Structure 1
Amino acid sequence: MFNLTSLLGAYSDSPAAQSLLEFEGGIKILIDVGWTDDFDPDHLSLLEKVAPTLSFILLTHATTAHLGAYAHCCKHIPNFTRIPVYATEPVIGLGKTLLQDIYASTPLAASILPKAALSTILLQPPSHTEIAGYFNLIHPLKYSQPHEPLASPRSPPLNGLTVTAYSAGHTLGGTIWHIQSGLESVVYAVDWNLAGEHVLSGAAWLAGAGATEVIEGLKKPTALVCSSRGSQRRAITSKRRDEILLNLIKETVANGGTVLIPSDSSARVLELAYLLEKAWKESSNEQQEGSLRKAKLYLASTTSSSTMNNARRMLEWMDPSMVKELEAASAGGAHGKNSDGKPTQRTHNAPFEFSHLRLIERKSHVSRALSRDGPKVIVASDASLEWGFSRTFLESIAQDSKNLVILTERNAPISHANRGIGRSLWEIWTEKSGLRDLDAISEAPPTKAFSAGGVEISSREIHTEQLTGNDLNVYQQYLSRQRQLQNTLNTDRVTTLETAVDVGDDNSSTSSDSSSDDEDEEQQGKALTAAATLAHGRHKLGLTDAELGIDILVRRKGHYDYDVRGKRGRERMFPVAAAKRNQRTDDYGDSIRPEDYLRAEERDEAEDIDATAKKEAAVGQKRKWDEVGAEAAAPNGKRAINGTNKRRKADDGRSDTKGTATNGDFDSDASDADEGEEESPLEGPVKAVFTKKTIRLNFRIAFVDFCGLVDKQTLRYIIPRIEPRKVILIGGEGPETDALAEDCRALFGSKSKDAADRSIDIFTPAVGFMVDASVDTNAWTVKLSKPLLKRLQWQNVRGLGVVALSGRLRSSEEDEATEESSMKKLKTLNGSGTAEDTNTANDTSALPILDLISAGLSAGSRIVAQPIHVGDIRLADLRKALQAISFTAEFRGEGVLVINNMVAVRKRGDAGRIEVEGLVSLGAMGRPDSTFHETKRKVYDMLAVVSGA
């Protein structure tokens, strides 16, 4: 069984992606936790419903559309952090910096309370430290390595399910997922690009350069889940694309204008940053006066230095040319000395070690960069121009017609009520250029910019205010409900058994009997509160028996038994909590006090928050509202604003030792006055206040396609070679999804949508609709006779019981005749009985019976099942097995395993066929060499033998 439900982004304008995959046995996999640029919490309603039943999560790209809601879900959905998450290392590193940039740039990312509250109150956003902690929970994977994931505590067993990551080519570490579960083989490929670029290599569909066949791991899946976004674009070479971009920049710089390129802050920005740094470097090396030398080059985002640091340590995930460039830079580095004995200067920088690109991470540096004279080229976050530094730069350059804004992708509308600045600029460009179809745009891309001509666009500005009055009461009630929900669902904290253990352990762990009566009353209050929560939690929250699970034994009266068959983890044990100690001790029983090991700066920070800590109420006692707000502002108890500013100041003042200017030449101009210019975040709960603003646009607008997505011609080439049984198209607008569906039907020989003879099924689901794409099987039900059943020898193959047998299929009439004669004999002997007695065992009489072949059957008509070798062999595992018996095994050529220079083993693409070729020669003692026979024996040992019966 395989079902797919798109939770967000399918058959719509929204680029966000959330897909729920369901397999046999109740296994549910969530792929991507994307979000839209308006950060509307209503878009996560479907995800919140299925979150408690998820087995694990897979992430594909480090973009807002694929993991923008990950930190929000970890902070605000109970037990979401207990669900295992898997992604490649670049997606983990770049995704962390992306979300840190988002939450530092726009207050709207914290998301507004549900609309039922009729307010614009903002939730508490996760801090930088919390975001880093959430991403540290993600399990890193490498490409082309099958992995058996872990399951969440409430998930059913995965039964040998495996996931394999392959390169998608769209972003650094972007992934095409292959999921194998029983008979179901699913390839999930959204937002991929087969063509290589400067930094990124192409998607891993083909075996290598010049190959024409899809690799075995991605071929012939039972279902191919593919995105249709950009599927109607024509192919344009990266060289032509770069030429158009640089010509537009040179033209604007020569006229003394400023160029703004809005982009994301972690994924596609790497391609832009590398290209522009290379162009500036080539321009500075030219003898003639190049126009690019007149302009300053900036990259603006709050986490730009962290993003580039991640890129420098992940070169092995990029195109092989990046590694060669690093080797060239190391070979020509400052290791030698000149004639004066001084070390030589490095002539080549390693990739992403910038000498011309200056990084901007603070608002004060943005205003300083704009105040500088001369032309400028600025790459700023974000591509939607709704948040980030791109919005600030846009408002500053809007009035000058010499300036230029280059769009690098087609922006989707933010919402029905707010189209967004990026979408408005796209519509202005399509109207001025007269090109509305992506097919026409890519076929003949415009090489010039078009003036906005004084068009006015409306935008909304967002700022925060402290909560007061009724808003404060609404937020307090919301926190109370959420706390009750989390306490009821989090069984590790509020079961009555655990509370009793905690109370007893707290009293026994004290070193003296000087505890006061007030402390005893507080502990009793804690136990009573927990007991009341358990008694009424199910009634208030409406939790079903299935949601309670094994906790029903302690949360509902009258239940004394729970079926633990087939359960895993804590569901197999009675919910008794282990005793907890108040003080941590080492191996020798000495108490460990963490405050004794604080650094000087941490000690100062602890002293700063000591006054707030003294006001904190004891356990079980009510707290005042202002204390709740202070705790929300510092959720870890030791995260004060002063300490954060100290670390930020230290980060802003440091310079990269490898020659990368972290903040360009702004560090030399920094002063104490600049620190005061930065807006300090408000403490406690806040609300969002929206104001409308009109911007008059006089600059020029251009479009250069840097989205890095697959084109129409490549899709028509790749999909037939994948040979899927079913195709599910998601992640695209309605017209382009329908167009790709018609192309697929034409490619697979089906002319009409309802043709009965089409070779494959093509689905185009909308958000919230389930698609049943289970594998097609033909099954017949028969009864096995008892003699045959005793002789079967079952073999375990990938968690399935398999047996080969030979038998004789007969109807049940023979059994009816035999049973009828036996009943007649019984009736004669007993002298009693009725006619109904002869039909008591005929409920399953319609089923045919498979029995042993009679011994009297002629030998010519007897068919004997031969042993069958079932399984799949990885040549890397075969190599290890041969090396274990002291054979020399190494890979040569195109994936050929050579053993002892005598035997060659290769794997053909057709159903994983193994070919063993070699010579049988005589050894030193005149005996035949055993290399060939031992190799074949190891091959057979790695396969499951299904014997006949």
Structure 2
Amino acid sequence: MFTFTPLLGAQSPSPASQSLLELDGGVKILVDVGWDESFDSTKLQALEKHVSTLSIVLLTHATIEHIGAYAHCCKHVPGFSRIPCYATTPVMNMGRTLTLDLYGSSPNAASTIPRDSIYSSPVTAAADEAANLLLQAPTADEVATYFSLINPLKYSQPHQPIPSPFSPPLAGLTITAYSAGHTLGGTLWHIQHGLESIVYASDWNLGRENFLPGAAWLSSGDGGEVLEPLHRPTALVCSSRGVERTETLAKRDRDLRIVSLIRETVAQGGKVLIPTDSSSRVLELAFLLNTTWRENIDGPHSDTYRNARIYMASRGSKTSVRYLQSMLEWMDASVVQNAEAAITRGDAQGNSSGPLDWKFVHQVERRSQVEKALKKGKPCVLLASDASLEWGVSSQALQSLASNPKNLVILTEVAGQVEAKRRGVGRQLWEMYQSRQGLDLSQNGAKVVNGDGHAVELRLSKPEPLTSDENMVYQQYIARQRQMHSSLQGDTTLLGDTAADLADDQASESSESEDEDDDAEHQGRAFNVSAQLTSNKRKTTGLTDAELGVNILLRGKDVYDYDVRNKRGREKMFPFVAHRSRNDEFGDVIKPEDYLRAEERDDVDGVDLKNANVEGVDGNAAKGQKRKWDDSVKGRRDREQKGPNKKAKTEQKDGPDAIDAVIAKVTGESGSGGGGAVSNGTVEEESSDSEESEYEPEDDAEAKPQKIAFSTQSLELHLRIAYVDFSGLYRLNDLQGLIGRINPRKLIVTAGDMSETRLLADTCRAVENGTAVGEIFTPVDGEVVDASVDTNAWTVKLTRQLVRRLNWKDLGTDKPSIAAISGLLGSESAEESLKTEPEEEGAKKKLKLTKAGQQPTGHTDSAKAALPILDLLTAQSTTLHQRAAQPVHVGDLRLAEIRAAVQAQGHTAEFRGGGTLLVDGTVLVRKSPTTGSIEVEGANAALSTPGWRTMTNEATFYAVKRVIYERLAVVSGA
């Protein structure tokens, strides 16, 4: 069984990609965790519903469209970080730099709390207006932790992944990564599970580029044959993004055009802005420009190249370039050869000018550095993130360069319309480029459009602190989310006495490895934990039975049973933690909850709960909190400065809403990340006027809860606009030539808008040689497609006598063995099955219980009891059924193997058109594209005449036959 469900990006203007593959046995594979420039968390709700059942996650490219929501899901979606994730090493490294650039450059990337989650809380009417409350963005350390959880893979390396804790067994699932081009480390995934052979190809590029290799569809030297694992898959999942491109320049013409546009603009004293991504396609552009500058610095246009500088502007540009030094094997073969040659000929000072010596590309990461580079009078080329111009340095650079008609913006890809009601800046520039009439054709024939004061609408975002009412909403939301996360993950640390025991164990284990000073600190934390445990008892309602999981046995009313079948981990065990007595050299460890006052136990919801805050009513450290070194002096000074008004405000009687805020505050401190600094329900004001705070890594990211305010600004454009296709995606005619060779049984088109999907589907209806794809599916987001293989499989049990007579034939390295079977199919009862293997202790026990008239305990599988049996043919059955397996030749030969073998025997062999091999000019060897059979025949009409069998021709003919037979396994009947 194989079903495919696109979660995001199918027949949609959004370029994001998320796909769910469900295989037999409940195995679920998520391919890509993409997002788009809207950073709308509601688009991830379809993904969140499947997280608790996912087995593994596969990542294809280090772009926002494929990996943008990975860190967000790890931080905010419960259980997602526990799912094993697989990707190539460049996708891991470049994805990390992309994520850091994303969260460091755009406050909107943290996403906002969904409105329905806010409205569901019992708050005042003023809180309903607080819509754009920002979620807490992952910190740099958290991002590094999330990406370190990814399991790196190499190309062409079959791997059997490890399932997630809540996944069923994978039953021999094998994943293999192949080069997809387009980005460094970009991946074509081959997924093998049982009879299903699935090839997932998203955003691939068949042609080689300057820096990046092409997609590994074809094997080198095979006369254009598709790699064996990728040939004839049961399903091919292919993206359709970019198939409508009309400008299809060759790589050489594309490079010449973009270099000519840059040279002409720089010679006139203008600046060039090329909006691109942070860590994938920008590497190809930077490599091309660095090579051009190095080769022409002493050429006829030397003055032009010397006066212009190239800037690679993104928050992680230096990190990306540093990563390249350790990922040489992932680049194009020509780059590897040049780099190795440069290292070999390098002088003693190490001044070798290799392809990875990017001395002409300057990496800038700060906003101040970008402004300084743009304000200079010298011309420059700015490779800025992002291609959508919605975030990053490109939006800032566009505003600085818009007023000068000498400047030029080069669009390298067609920006999509992310939101239905709003067009992004990149989309507006693309539409302006297509619709403007006053055209200026440059010397290389490129179309250049003048701005002429045309206005585009910019959407600016700015984080702001929360008001007191908004802060209550935020803290309550954070408290509910943490409670739900702990429940969904089977966490029992909030379950009264059991939680107290566990907290006691954790505190004692930590104290064993610390000194005496640390013991006092752990004891203070334990007192604080007791207040949190009692306060958290109020937050046990509002969760569904599915969210509670096995904890429903403790929290549910009149619930005494829970189905643990097919459960894993904590869901399979009763939510109880055995109490272990802990003691130290002074005796038993004190349990703070045993010493709570009566009013603390009975009136948990009372005003005394506010004493559990970080600061007490009088400003001192609360009960159980360790006082800081200078707290006695500094705290007194701060309280004197605050004056009586602040003190009077803190002494007001808390209402129900204030108590909820305090509870949320206490719960927030017990979790990771926190919800920000809150003092008595108010938010401490802070300055957000510094422009450097968005980009500088050394500036501490604001931990306090914030909201985001959007504003629009009209920007008049007087610069020029050009377009050169540098997206690095396959062209439609590439797939037309490949689809007949891949020959998939079923084709699933995804990751493209409606027109692109239909165009690709119509093109693949019929391919060359008269063959056609069996079925073509074009699902939309959320539509489930059943693409199972058209083969029925049954499971039978072989008797030991039959197994002993099997004659296994080896098909080669990394290939399964095969044997032919002739037997009599029958059935047996459960009792006969038990008698067949009396040596098994479990079978003996079941047999005794059955004879005694008792039913064995446990779950019995009726399907196994009725398993059909295949036994040896008796003499009578052989007479009645004269059907024995005839000897057959099994194996998959490639023409390249035959060519190498016959050449080793002294014959000449060369490939001819149409996948034909000509041996000694007299014998033709063909391979059928549909059946895979090998055909050997004479090369001309003279060979078919009776006198064609000369000694030379006949020797060549039988030599080729002998080579073929030697490489096939002969399987005879058993």
1:748 Cα shift?
7.2
1:403 aligns with 2:416: no
Aligned partner of 1:721 among 701, 725, 741: 741
Show CA shifts across 1:424-456 (max 9, x none). 000011112699xxxxx9xx9951311122111
State the partner residue of 1:312: 325
Aligned partner of 1:420 among 402, 424, 429: 424
State the partner residue of 1:293: 306
Query: C-alpha distance in 2, partners of 1:581/1:176?
Result: 54
1:121 Cα shift?
0.9
* Distance change (3 Å), C-alpha of 1:273 and 1:164: same
> Secondary structure in 2 aligned to 1:323?
helix
1:690 aligns with 2:692: no
| 8 Å CA contact 2:425, 2:458 repeated in 1 | yes
| 8 Å CA contact 2:438, 2:450 repeated in 1 | no
* Distance change (3 Å), C-alpha of 1:238 and 1:582: farther
* Distance change (3 Å), C-alpha of 1:562 and 1:855: farther
| 8 Å CA contact 2:15, 2:751 repeated in 1 | yes
| 8 Å CA contact 1:231, 1:715 repeated in 2 | no
> Secondary structure in 2 aligned to 1:380?
strand
State the partner residue of 1:664: none
* Distance change (3 Å), C-alpha of 1:521 and 1:731: closer
**Residues 571-590 of structure 1: pairs in structure 2 closer than 5 A:** 573-577=573-577
Query: C-alpha distance in 2, partners of 1:712/1:106?
Result: 35
| 8 Å CA contact 2:104, 2:694 repeated in 1 | no
State the partner residue of 2:501: 501
State the partner residue of 1:542: 544
Query: C-alpha distance in 2, partners of 1:213/1:517?
Result: 69
Query: C-alpha distance in 1, partners of 2:694/2:26?
Result: 57
State the partner residue of 1:261: 274
1:804 aligns with 2:818: no
State the partner residue of 1:62: 62
Equivalent residue letter for 2:479: S
Aligned partner of 1:150 among 162, 169, 185: 162
Aligned partner of 1:388 among 379, 386, 392: 392
Query: C-alpha distance in 2, partners of 1:561/1:16?
Result: 43
Aligned partner of 1:709 among 724, 729, 746: 729
Equivalent residue letter for 2:380: K
* Distance change (3 Å), C-alpha of 1:748 and 1:45: farther
State the partner residue of 1:460: 459
State the partner residue of 2:947: none
Query: C-alpha distance in 2, partners of 1:790/1:432?
Result: 79
Query: C-alpha distance in 2, partners of 1:450/1:93?
Result: 37
Query: C-alpha distance in 1, partners of 2:695/2:8?
Result: 41
Query: C-alpha distance in 1, partners of 2:65/2:464?
Result: 29
1:488 aligns with 2:487: yes
Give unmatched runs, 5+ long, in structure 2: 119-127, 586-613, 627-658, 678-691, 810-814, 828-867, 905-926, 935-964
Moved more, 113-122 or 57-66: 113-122
Query: C-alpha distance in 1, partners of 2:666/2:768?
Result: 65
Show CA shifts across 1:784-839 (max 9, x none). 9x9x98976499999999993444899xxxxxxxxxxxxxxxxxxxxxxxxxxxxx
1:205 aligns with 2:213: no
* Distance change (3 Å), C-alpha of 1:218 and 1:674: closer
* Distance change (3 Å), C-alpha of 1:464 and 1:507: closer
> Secondary structure in 2 aligned to 1:472?
helix
* Distance change (3 Å), C-alpha of 1:148 and 1:456: same
| 8 Å CA contact 1:84, 1:150 repeated in 2 | yes
1:74 aligns with 2:74: yes
1:418 Cα shift?
1.6
* Distance change (3 Å), C-alpha of 1:565 and 1:471: closer
Equivalent residue letter for 1:720: G
**Residues 779-798 of structure 1: pairs in structure 2 closer than 5 A:** 793=803
Could you tell me the TM-score, scaled by structure 2's length? 0.71
Equivalent residue letter for 2:469: N
Query: C-alpha distance in 2, partners of 1:676/1:190?
Result: 34
Show CA shifts across 1:653-672 (max 9, x none). xxxxxxxxxxxxxxxxxxx9
| 8 Å CA contact 1:617, 1:623 repeated in 2 | no
Aligned partner of 1:761 among 745, 750, 775: 775
| 8 Å CA contact 2:503, 2:526 repeated in 1 | no
1:376 Cα shift?
1.4
| 8 Å CA contact 2:32, 2:59 repeated in 1 | yes
Query: C-alpha distance in 2, partners of 1:552/1:946?
Result: 59
| 8 Å CA contact 1:408, 1:703 repeated in 2 | yes
> Secondary structure in 1 aligned to 2:57?
strand
State the partner residue of 1:18: 18
Equivalent residue letter for 1:485: M
Moved more, 79-88 or 677-686: 677-686
Query: C-alpha distance in 2, partners of 1:805/1:420?
Result: 67
Equivalent residue letter for 2:310: L
| 8 Å CA contact 2:502, 2:577 repeated in 1 | no
> Secondary structure in 2 aligned to 1:727?
strand
* Distance change (3 Å), C-alpha of 1:255 and 1:742: same
State the partner residue of 1:4: 4
1:773 Cα shift?
0.4
| 8 Å CA contact 1:804, 1:867 repeated in 2 | no
* Distance change (3 Å), C-alpha of 1:520 and 1:717: closer
1:329 Cα shift?
2.0
Query: C-alpha distance in 1, partners of 2:415/2:520?
Result: 68
| 8 Å CA contact 1:364, 1:674 repeated in 2 | no
| 8 Å CA contact 1:892, 1:898 repeated in 2 | no
Give unmatched runs, 5+ long, in structure 1: 336-342, 436-440, 586-609, 639-671, 751-756, 811-847, 875-890, 900-907, 915-935
Equivalent residue letter for 2:278: S
> Secondary structure in 2 aligned to 1:62?
coil
1:352 Cα shift?
3.2
**Residues 907-946 of structure 1: pairs in structure 2 closer than 5 A:** none
Equivalent residue letter for 1:804: I
Equivalent residue letter for 2:448: A
State the partner residue of 1:39: 39
Equivalent residue letter for 2:90: P
Query: C-alpha distance in 2, partners of 1:803/1:123?
Result: 61
* Distance change (3 Å), C-alpha of 1:532 and 1:253: closer
Equivalent residue letter for 1:35: W
Aligned partner of 2:344 among 331, 335, 353: 331
| 8 Å CA contact 1:792, 1:805 repeated in 2 | no
1:741 Cα shift?
0.8
State the partner residue of 2:144: 132
Query: C-alpha distance in 2, partners of 1:240/1:688?
Result: 44
Equivalent residue letter for 2:148: N
* Distance change (3 Å), C-alpha of 1:492 and 1:633: closer
1:160 aligns with 2:160: no
Show CA shifts across 1:850-871 (max 9, x none). 9997745785962234799999
Equivalent residue letter for 1:318: M
Corresponding residue pairs, total: 778
Equivalent residue letter for 1:131: V
* Distance change (3 Å), C-alpha of 1:371 and 1:212: same
Query: What RMSD over aligned residues (CA atoms) do the two structures have, in Å?
Result: 4.9
| 8 Å CA contact 2:33, 2:67 repeated in 1 | yes
Equivalent residue letter for 2:279: S
* Distance change (3 Å), C-alpha of 1:553 and 1:423: same
* Distance change (3 Å), C-alpha of 1:285 and 1:745: same
Aligned partner of 2:289 among 270, 276, 279: 276
Show CA shifts across 1:875-901 (max 9, x none). xxxxxxxxxxxxxxxx999998999xx
1:353 Cα shift?
2.4
Could you tell me the TM-score, scaled by structure 1's length? 0.72
* Distance change (3 Å), C-alpha of 1:637 and 1:938: farther
Query: C-alpha distance in 1, partners of 2:72/2:583?
Result: 33
| 8 Å CA contact 1:224, 1:728 repeated in 2 | yes
Query: C-alpha distance in 2, partners of 1:859/1:771?
Result: 48
Query: C-alpha distance in 2, partners of 1:32/1:258?
Result: 36
State the partner residue of 2:372: 368
